[in-house]
Amino acid sequence: MAKRQHDGEAAPPDAAADTIAKRQKVAHAAISPDQLALLDRFSKELRAFVKAAKKDKKTNEDSTENGDEASLEDAYVQLAELSTSVLPIFLPQNTAASSQLPLATTASSHSSPIAAPLPTAPIILSHSHVTPLPHNLAAWTPADIPRGGGYPALPPIPDPALAQMAMTHRGMLGGGAAVEAANYETLEFVGDAYIYHVAAELITQTFPRMSVGRRSQMREGLLRNANLAQYTVHYGLDKRAQIPDEFVGDGRDKGSRATDRGRQKVNGDLFEAYVGALVRAKSTDPGYDSSAVTVKWLRSLWAMTLASDIERESRRPGVVPTIATSSPKAAASTNGSAPADAAALSVAAPAAQPPAKVRLAAAIVCRGVVIRYEEVKTNNPKRDKFTNMPLFTVSATADGWGKTTFLGTGTAMSKREAGEKAAERALENGKLMKELKGKKADYLARIEAETKAKEAEPE
């Protein structure tokens, strides 16, 4: 228990306060009159940022609705605008960073407490004992997408007994123990678990900045019965399967016919059973790897389904998989004490990069320039292909330099995410960014010249 201070006793020295005082003294000594003048110029706007941040935080603590998500994003955008003018003044002049303002940096790189970093992506800590993933579970790239609109070839099941079992419905068998040993339900159970694992790994590797909830939605959409049944029909597995007549054609002769949903469920089960059999099958070829064959096929098949998402993610800067994958060099050393490629066993941190809105503001916003994000409402809104939920579309425009400039649009399941995508589209427009950055640079140069001229005037 901490010792309490009694009346009349001298307060013990505060080490923290002493350290702060020393840092303030050092910082004060390093600030020139020019820097103080510029800081005074922007002090009102800095105070406005703090006020906006407090107000935004209080608003977000109340509630969110209509697709909006709580954040201090608006306040951070203001800070980004100020940072482009204020932070370069206080960065060390003898470093490479002094010639170009970084969008995000670590706290240890600042020589002054005034130069606060912009918000960055959360860091995932490294671990020294993480089992490396197989190289075929690495992030999808556009090269994985089958070209020409065709499906990847269906790998055959090398074990005839398992191949027959995977295509046999329990309704086609008699009673007794033989039913449990010969129908596809056990293989379906194995295949169901396997595809969930593989899909989760591939999605996590490819979309490291996507929320866990959104990843779950993508996985569920990828593995829903409608999608799996489509694969089954394409590969003709339904034609090869031994299933009751009510699931085939017009149903039983003068009898029952399964519902469309029931047929879809059986076709989805057939796909999972085929995967289960493919994983468990053994081959006479000693070099055959059933898991590698299965993952290679699923990887290409799902890349076809998620082609647009994969291509869009590949265009985003700074994408780093959240879990490192193994390579041929990642095998254990001869003494078994450490892997040859130690980096392959660590968890990689996502690129430390502010949101697209903040980066866009830092690139083009200055005094008199405002970026607006507005929802684009339509009578027939788009729906998410995985969840069938309505999507929001947001447009980004910039008001400044005497006109309104269209920047881009984005569509997503929330207004905030849609706004982020609109900002990303704007940042990807190299010609437009060059024009707007040039205007901002000209403005800042003019302000700097005016400031120096004012300081040079006799008092």
Q: What is the pLDDT of residue 235?
A: 95
What is the chain's length?
Answer: 459
Give me the chain's average pLDDT, please.
73
Say whether pLDDT at 253 is over 70: no
Q: What is the C-alpha to C-alpha distance for residues 191 and 70, in angstroms, rounded to an integer?
A: 39
Residue 367 has pLDDT above 70, yes or no: yes
Q: DSSP states of 158-226 as a string?
A: S-HHHHHHHTB-GGGS-SSHHHHHHSTHHHHHHHHHHHHHHHHHHHHHH-TTS-HHHHHHHHHHHTSHH
Query: Above 50 in pLDDT, residue 211?
Result: yes
Residue with the bigger pLDDT between 5 and 146: it is 146
Q: Which token pair is 284?
A: 């006479």
Per residue in 35-80, pLDDT (tens digit) is 666 666 667 666 766 766 666 555 544 434 444 443 445 555 556 5
The more confidently predicted of residues 412 and 268 is 268
pLDDT (tens digit per residue) in 71-108: 445 555 556 555 655 555 554 444 433 334 333 333 33
Domain 19-120+354-456 sits in CATH at 3.30.160.20
CA dihedral 196, 202, 205, 207 (to 10 degrees): -90
Q: Which two tokens stand for residue 177?
A: 């123990």
* 19-120+354-456 and 139-320 share one fold: no
Within 288-402, strands assigned E span 370-375, 392-400
Backbone angles phi, psi at 63, to 5 degrees: -170, 165
Where residue 321 falls among pLDDT bands split at 50, 70, 90? very low
Residue 7 has what DSSP assignment? T
pLDDT per residue as tens digits for the range 139-185 = 999 999 988 768 999 999 999 999 999 999 887 776 666 666 778 88
The yes-or-no verdict on residue 418 having pLDDT over 80 is yes
Distances in whole angstroms, Cα of residue 450 to Cα of each of 99, 446, 456: 21, 6, 10
CATH architecture of 139-320: Orthogonal Bundle (1.10)
Domain map of the chain by residue range? 19-120+354-456, 139-320
Residue 438's beta-bridge partner residues? Answer: none
